[in-house]
Amino acid sequence: MKIDSSLKPVAGPTAGQPKGRAEAGGNAAAGETVELSSLSTTLQKAETAIASAPEVDSKRVEEIRQAISEGRFKVDPGRIADGLLDSVRQLLAGQPEQP
């Protein structure tokens, strides 16, 4: 049987935390439960958002860079303000940000 070492190890208890029976070498008793904090849910959502984030469009970046160097790039402060307000509203409502 081959062991897959590509998985990340799970961190054990930190200093000062007692080891559970399973970690001390015994088997966990039937009926024992494990509770995860809300932070774990938040981290899972963040990982999903990062994984689904679009990659950088190098062609678009170069077009913008060229427009800036030629003085053709115009900043629309109203559009920026609207985007910031939408982002804040979504964060306050707990909704994922739309592209």
In contact, 12 and 23? CB cutoff 8 Å: yes
Q: Is the pLDDT of residue 22 over 50?
A: no
Q: Is the pLDDT of residue 94 over 60?
A: yes
User: Residue 90 is inside which H or E element, if any?
Assistant: helix 77-93
In contact, 13 and 24? CB cutoff 8 Å: no
Answer yes or no: pTM beyond 0.75: no
Chain centroid, CA 76 distance in Å: 29
Residue 70 pLDDT: 96
> DSSP letter at 96?
P
Quick: pLDDT tens for 30-79: 788 888 888 888 999 999 888 888 788 889 999 999 999 999 999 999 99
Please state, in angstroms and rounded to a whole number, the distance separating the CA atoms of residues 96 and 84. 14
CA pseudo-torsion sign 79, 85, 86, 91: positive
